[in-house]
């Protein structure tokens, strides 16, 4: 197959890829809960899930069966329609966001000789699309909290709004500097920009750190898990949810964690370019796995911040830093 | 130590140590400096390292805390008062209980029921001995009063049962005769102290 031929985008191919992404990511998201429990347990010197299957590996199946067979309770005074669609918003947007994210280098299926560009759709505004989708995903918690006529839920959705307003700015501004350097919004271009082996994090360390911080807020992981912090607001926006609707929030959250991991790897950490003797697909899997692990690590080690501290941090520290970073990048690019 | 020290009621007011806490920042510039120093201090990474170190300790250095309970149990103190055991004499293997009835008498929950009779050698033998564990409050009085160290508390603390009144018979609590060499002398409640020999004095007949 000649490499110069543009990857053909057929409808069948896109559908197959969409189904694959859906299946693989929801499986990984489920598996992520297992990993999270194991890693957190190890960091607290516990064993974690242990009894279902070898090393508790089938805990995932047990949890899945439990979630599927649990009664789907809808509170009496809830706004039923919104209550019912809110988890779907979270899960769906999380998966839609993954459509424009490349995970592997393009490859050719052996024997059949079909060339596969391994991105469901290379939208030319990829980054904006993904960020927009992840931001839209925040409507899930927002609506869920307000629809369930529960005080904890209301507080949860209020905090969603706070968080949403605060970090969204930082996410955009922190990614602006790399976008300026690459001059494109497509993830594939980002990847190709770093194909000479220099990762963008070398040029943009500040943007990388800002993006990580904002990404943790975006996926509401510790230290920014204000939305459903058990110690303060019972479960926040998921207080009234049970069964599969609750599970959908979680699948969405874990899918978002993976998305953030992919964006961080592709934009800042060299993407799926080959590195030394390691092939690209292994590199990016390793990077995504590490960024996932880092989220769990941070959760085990760091306390979480108050909502006012989050706003303070985002508006008074991170945003000025991001703006300064953008300005300096611009000046350097103009001179250089 | 004299009694005066116990009469002092102002406990704790003398030994307070003032922590050398920094003052809250007075103006914006101080606050800014505080933020800067806190952000640039590697304290966050120390936290990360501590969590990772614990993980390494747990996984590779065998410092996992978890006890997988039904499979492994933590040792309990010898003073713990769980289900009773009846001990045997080590030399003859005969049960130690002489049927004195003191434990039945002292039991404040009235849960020990016993009966004695003369055996063929005209010696007293215990013909019946049950403890109703539905009533027993595990106070340990029976073990304390027993002159022969015959009834003691064992370490079996899993006392869940299908019935409210769950009786234990003498034979159930008695050390099995083939396990006699495994019988432990009781260290707990009512047992003689380790330095009992030193405490023995001659009966003062002189006065
Ligand atoms: S422990 Fe107390 S209540 Fe139980 S049998 Fe002995 S004396 Fe009775
Ligand atoms: S006090 Fe001891 S010796 Fe006396 S009857 Fe009870 S168990 Fe037997």
* DSSP assignment string, chain B: --THHHH---TTSS------PPPPP-SHHHHHHHHHHHHHSTHHHHHHHHHHHHHHHHHHSS------TTTS-----TT---SEEE-B-TTT--B------HHHHH-TT--EEEEEEE-TTS-EEEEEEEEETTT-----HHHHH-TTS-EEE-S------SSSS-EEEHHHHBPPGGGGGGPPPP-STTSPPTTHHHH--------
On the 0-12 / 13-18 / 19+ scale of CB atoms within 10 A, A68 is exposed
- Closest-CA distance, A38 to chain B, in angstroms, reads 10
Most distant CA pair in chain B, distance: 99
Q: Tell me, what's the pLDDT at A172?
A: 84
Q: What is the mean pLDDT of residues A75-92?
A: 85
Q: What is the mean pLDDT of residues A20-48?
A: 84
Q: Tell me, what's the pLDDT at B6?
A: 66
- The predicted-structure confidence for B46-66, as pLDDT tens digits, reads as follows 888 888 888 888 888 888 888
Q: Tell me, what's the pLDDT at A3?
A: 41
Rounded Cα gap, residues A40 and B95, in angstroms: 53
Q: What is the mean pLDDT of residues A6-28?
A: 73
Domain count, chain A: 1
Tell me A313's DSSP state. Answer: I
Give me the residue from A47, A297, A317 closest to B51, CB to CB.
A297
Give me the residue from A46, A47, A300 closest to B51, CB to CB.
A300
Residues of A with CB under 8 A from a CB of B: 39, 42-47, 50, 297-298, 300-302, 317
Which is more confident, A219 or A116?
A: A219
A259, pLDDT greater than 80: yes
Rounded Cα gap, residues B85 and B188, in angstroms: 12
A318, pLDDT greater than 90: no
B contacts of A46 (beta carbons < 8 Å): 58, 64-66
Q: Tell me, what's the pLDDT at A115?
A: 65
- Closest-CA distance, A256 to chain B, in angstroms, reads 23
- The predicted-structure confidence for A94-152, as pLDDT tens digits, reads as follows 888 887 777 776 666 666 666 666 666 666 777 888 888 888 888 888 888 888 888 88
Tell me A278's DSSP state. Answer: B
Alpha-carbon dihedral sign for residues A34, A37, A42, A46: negative
Q: Which amino acid residue places its CA nearest to atom 2 of ligand 2?
A: B146
A35, pLDDT greater than 50: yes
What ligand has the least distance to the C-alpha of B136?
A: 1
Q: Which amino acid residue places its CA nearest to atom 2 of ligand 1?
A: B139
A40: closest CA among B39, B117, B51?
Answer: B51
- Percentage of chain B with pLDDT > 90? 10
A229, pLDDT greater than 70: yes
Q: Give the range of the structural domain holding residue A260, as residue numbers without chain letter.
A: 3-335
A56: closest CA among A77, A73, A39?
Answer: A39
Phi and psi at A275, nearest 5°, equal: -135, 115
A contacts of B71 (beta carbons < 8 Å): none
Contact A42 B58 (CB under 8 A): yes
Q: Tell me, what's the pLDDT at A4?
A: 41
Rounded Cα gap, residues B151 and B108, in angstroms: 16
Q: What is the mean pLDDT of residues B151-165?
A: 81
Q: Which amino acid residue places its CA nearest to atom 1 of ligand 2?
A: B146
Contact B66 A46 (CB under 8 A): yes
pLDDT-derived band at B116, boundaries 50, 70, 90: very high
Is residue B175 within 8 A of residue B148, CB to CB? The reply is: no
A60: closest CA among A26, A31, A25, A24?
Answer: A31
Q: What is the mean pLDDT of residues A167-188?
A: 83
Q: What is the mean pLDDT of residues A191-203?
A: 76
A contacts of B41 (beta carbons < 8 Å): none
A2, pLDDT greater than 50: no
Report pTM. Answer: 0.73
B119, pLDDT greater than 80: yes
Contact B51 A45 (CB under 8 A): no
Contact B64 A45 (CB under 8 A): yes
For an interface test with B, which of A300, A304, A312 has the most B Cβ atoms less than 10 Å from its Cβ? A300
- Closest-CA distance, A324 to chain B, in angstroms, reads 16
pLDDT-derived band at B106, boundaries 50, 70, 90: very high
What ligand has the least distance to the C-alpha of B97?
A: 2
Rounded Cα gap, residues A307 and A328, in angstroms: 30
Q: Which amino acid residue places its CA nearest to atom 6 of ligand 2?
A: B103
Strand partners, A114: A109
Most confident of A240-249, A317-326, B14-23, B73-82: A317-326
- Closest-CA distance, A215 to chain B, in angstroms, reads 18
Nearest residue on chain B to A39, alpha-carbon basis: B55
Rounded Cα gap, residues A164 and A151, in angstroms: 20
Give strand ranges (E) for chain A: 107-109, 114-116
- The ligand 2 site (C-beta within 6 Å) comprises B 97-103, 145-146, 148, 150-151
Phi and psi at A209, nearest 5°, equal: -65, -45
For an interface test with B, which of A37, A44, A48 has the most B Cβ atoms less than 10 Å from its Cβ? A44
């Amino acid at each position: 197959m000649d490499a110069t031929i543009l990857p053909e985008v057929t409808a069948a191919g896109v559908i197959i890829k969409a189904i694959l992404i859906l299946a693989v990511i929801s499986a990984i998201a489920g598996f992520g809960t297992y990993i999270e429990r194991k890693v957190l347990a190890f960091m607290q010197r516990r064993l974690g899930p242990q009894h279902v299957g070898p090393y508790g590996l089938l805990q995932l199946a047990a949890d899945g069966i439990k979630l599927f067979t649990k009664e789907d309770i809808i509170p009496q005074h809830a706004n039923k329609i919104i209550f019912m669609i809110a988890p779907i918003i979270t899960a769906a947007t999380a998966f839609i966001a993954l459509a424009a994210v490349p995970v592997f280098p393009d490859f050719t299926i052996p024997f059949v000789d079909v060339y596969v560009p391994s991105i469901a759709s290379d939208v030319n505004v990829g980054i904006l699309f993904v960020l927009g989708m992840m931001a839209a995903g925040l409507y899930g918690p927002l609506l869920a909290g307000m629809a369930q006529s529960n005080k904890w839920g209301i507080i949860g959705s209020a905090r969603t709004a706070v968080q949403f307003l605060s970090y969204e700015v930082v996410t955009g501004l922190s990614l602006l500097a790399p976008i300026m350097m690459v001059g494109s919004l497509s993830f594939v271009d980002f990847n190709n920009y770093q194909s000479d082996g220099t990762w963008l994090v070398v040029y943009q360390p500040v943007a990388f750190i800002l993006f990580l911080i904002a990404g943790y807020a975006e996926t509401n992981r510790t230290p920014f898990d204000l939305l459903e912090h058990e110690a303060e607001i019972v479960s926040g926006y998921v207080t009234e949810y049970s069964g599969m609707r609750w599970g959908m929030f979680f699948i969405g959250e874990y899918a978002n964690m993976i998305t953030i991991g992919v964006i961080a790897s592709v934009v800042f950490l060299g993407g799926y370019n080959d590195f030394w003797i390691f092939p690209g697909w292994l590199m990016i899997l390793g990077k995504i796995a590490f960024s996932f692990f880092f989220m769990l690590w941070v959760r085990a080690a760091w306390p979480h911040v108050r909502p006012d501290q989050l706003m303070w941090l985002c508006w008074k520290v991170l945003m000025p830093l991001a703006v300064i970073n953008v300005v300096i990048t611009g000046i350097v690019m103009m001179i250089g | 130590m004299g009694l005066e020290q116990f009469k002092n009621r102002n406990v704790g007011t003398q030994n307070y140590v003032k922590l050398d806490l920094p003052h809250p920042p007075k103006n914006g510039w101080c606050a800014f400096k505080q933020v800067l120093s806190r952000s640039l201090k590697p304290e966050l990474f120390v936290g990360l390292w501590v969590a990772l170190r614990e993980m390494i300790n747990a996984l590779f250095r065998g410092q996992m805390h978890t006890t997988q309970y039904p499979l492994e149990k933590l040792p309990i103190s010898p003073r713990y008062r769980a289900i009773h055991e009846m001990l045997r004499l080590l030399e003859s293997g005969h049960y130690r209980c002489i049927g004195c009835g003191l434990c039945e008498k002292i039991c404040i929950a009235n849960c020990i029921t016993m009966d004695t009779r003369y055996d063929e050698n005209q010696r007293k033998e215990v013909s019946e001995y049950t403890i109703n564990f539905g009533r027993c409050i595990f106070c340990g009085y029976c073990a304390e009063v027993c002159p022969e160290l015959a009834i003691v508390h064992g370490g079996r603390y899993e006392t869940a049962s299908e019935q409210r009144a769950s009786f234990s018979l003498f034979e159930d609590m008695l050390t099995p005769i083939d396990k006699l060499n495994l019988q432990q002398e009781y260290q707990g409640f009512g047992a003689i102290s380790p330095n009992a020999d030193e405490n023995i004095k001659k009966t003062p007949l002189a006065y």
